Amino acid sequence: MPRRSHASFFPVILPALAAAALLACAASGLGDDNQRPPRRALQRAAPSWNNDWSRGAVFYEAFVRSFQDSNGDGIGDLKGLIAKLDYLNDGNPDSTTDLGVDALWLMPVFVSPSYHGYDTTDYEHINPEYGTDDDFTTLCSEAHRRGIRVIVDFVINHSGSGHPWFVDASSGPTAAKRNWYVWSPVDLGWRQPWNLYGGADTWHQNPADGQWFYGVFWAGMPDLNIRNPEVRAEIKRLATLWLSRGVDGFRLDAARHLIENGGGLLQVDQPETHAFWRELSAHVRSVKPEATLVGEAWTDTPIIATYYGSTAPVPGGDELPMTFDFPLAAAIIQGVNTGDASVISGKLAEVQSVYPRGANDAPFLTNHDMVRLATQLGHDPAKLRNAAAILLTVPGTPFLYYGEEVGLENGSSDTDDRLKRTPMPWDASSPGGGFTSGTPWFSFAPGRETANVAVQSADPASLLSRYRALIRARHASAALQRGDLRLATAGGGGHVLAFFRAAGEEQVLVVHNVSDAIQTAGPYATTATAAETVLADSGASVSVGTGSCSVTLLPRTTGIWRLR
């Protein structure tokens, strides 16, 4: 088929110079997406998802560098993480001393020159600071033995500039890997799409030949040319490799940014990006249908909804079977902070109205790119308990950020990502905080005298104990874990978030008081005649009458009742 030039491909009128540059890009292969398999063929070839284990599961996001150091060099590693698996889930469903999570998301563990790892320089091997490929195999084996699934960050929007692919590509226009990246003979002047007027440039000059390469985040992370079928094939080969090594899926970074059709907002959410996610999804299902994918699409709810694709041909979605719910995270934090439950109920209603039928939400509170929850909530224990209870009772697959369960704070500034990724505080008595026998790679966040595992494990009223109890309650209830949601909260304000969750014959009523005053709420319509406590804070009570029920809650408390 004839190659299309970008001058006709872009749905905008470009200045003459930019059009010439893009014609040059097309001549080098940037514009060739004609070799992509048709969507219908992909759907016939690949099975459906077989990953029901992930629906309603509780995931734990771990930064290996900051979780546990096994050799005293101050850097967390895989052997350290293995040693702490029993803290996450000891494999005994009757235990009450573990957190009880079902799955681990590991932030980048592949070879990289940076502390964060999002500039990969070797996708096939584990960062030697974290251990060996064999250590990773052992981690997967030990996690699986305890019933913990493992997914890893798969950063495929871009590589690191030190990757051999880019080293070759940047050597000149005739390089073998030149078309694995996005090039222009001139600076097209695009700005980062999340900050079009104050954001950084996305085109960077190559010193070797004076041409310009595209890197939406910065020059150290050049974007891969996903239009190139060789690049797509390599991504799928790498996915197969790690699935064969035991991973249970991938967290997909920068899911909106894969393919660009121009400057401004034409750098995000393009049809070709969705087409590639369908292609990769079909490949993963064909290799390991029990695996899962979760995408990072940091945007508004209606746009996030599109990243599931269609749930008609593939239950769960023919693109990504999970996407992180950034707007719901913001709503929970705002609602808890201000005492306005309507902010949360409104967002839950929007998710119900715009997500495709059968989509599995991925709610969370904060992650590695955000100011930590304890800092955002002013270190208020009651608000932290509120937020945890809401997260672990809403529909979907909740994700916890390491340390969130003990109220780990940010550092003194939110401008440095390291301050959101400080070492895990296991205790307050040793210089290394139980994290290392040496000097930690980065200093602990303030407040570890009380925000640590040892202190909170012994306190039944601690935040850690709260998380453990909520996760146990979730596991004990099919309705909480996988049930539908029906909001019972009246619109237009209020301090109480109330909803019903139902699965099969089980129905539960969940009520959260996000205010600092006693609240009596209801009546809520129900055919139940009795209520059984699933989890109820001190002072929480429910009254079931004819055709309705009402609840009373002390400030910042939760009640969960199974209705019969």
pLDDT 10s digits, 211-239:
999 999 999 999 999 999 999 999 999 99
Q: Decide if 272 is catalytic.
A: no
Answer whether residue 549 shows pLDDT above 50.
yes
pLDDT at position 44 is 52
Mean pLDDT, range 1-26, rounded to an integer: 34
pLDDT at position 452 is 98
Answer whether residue 524 shows pLDDT above 80.
yes
Percent of the chain with pLDDT over 90: 88
Question: Which residue did the predictor score with more confidence, 173 or 22?
Answer: 173
Q: Which of 33, 296, 318, 404 is catalytic?
A: 296
Matching residue, tokens 């950084």: 200
Answer whether residue 420 shows pLDDT above 70.
yes
Per-domain boundaries in the chain: 6-32+160-214, 481-563
Read off the pTM.
0.92
User: pLDDT per residue over 129-147, tens digit each?
Assistant: 999 999 999 999 999 999 9
Measured over the CA atoms of residue 33, residue 39, residue 40 and residue 43, the dihedral's sign is positive
Residues 223, 216 contacting (CB under 8 angstroms): yes
Pairing between β-strand 360-362 and β-strand 399-401 as defined by DSSP bridges: unpaired
pLDDT band at 416 (very low <50, low <70, confident <90, very high): confident
Answer whether residue 291 shows pLDDT above 50.
yes
Residue type at 206?
N
Mean pLDDT of the chain: 91
Domain 481-563 top-level CATH class: mainly beta
Pairing between β-strand 103-106 and β-strand 149-154 as defined by DSSP bridges: parallel
Q: Decide if 404 is catalytic.
A: no
- Does 6-32+160-214 match 481-563 in CATH topology? no
pLDDT at position 195 is 87
What topology does CATH give the domain 6-32+160-214?
Answer: Oligo-1,6-glucosidase; domain 2 (3.90.400)
pLDDT at position 489 is 67
User: pLDDT per residue over 422-448, tens digit each?
Assistant: 999 999 989 999 999 999 999 999 999
Residues 268, 28 contacting (CB under 8 angstroms): no
Mean pLDDT, range 353-381, rounded to an integer: 97
Residues 401, 367 contacting (CB under 8 angstroms): yes
Mean pLDDT, range 76-87, rounded to an integer: 98
Percent of the chain with pLDDT over 70: 91
The distance from CA 247 to its chain's CA centroid, rounded to whole angstroms, is: 16
Q: Which of 253, 319, 325, 340 is catalytic?
A: 253
Residue 338's H or E segment, with its range, is helix 326-338
pLDDT at position 490 is 56
Tokens of 246: 């035991």
Answer whether residue 40 shows pLDDT above 70.
no
Answer whether residue 41 shows pLDDT above 90.
no
Answer whether residue 28 shows pLDDT above 90.
no
pLDDT band at 15 (very low <50, low <70, confident <90, very high): very low
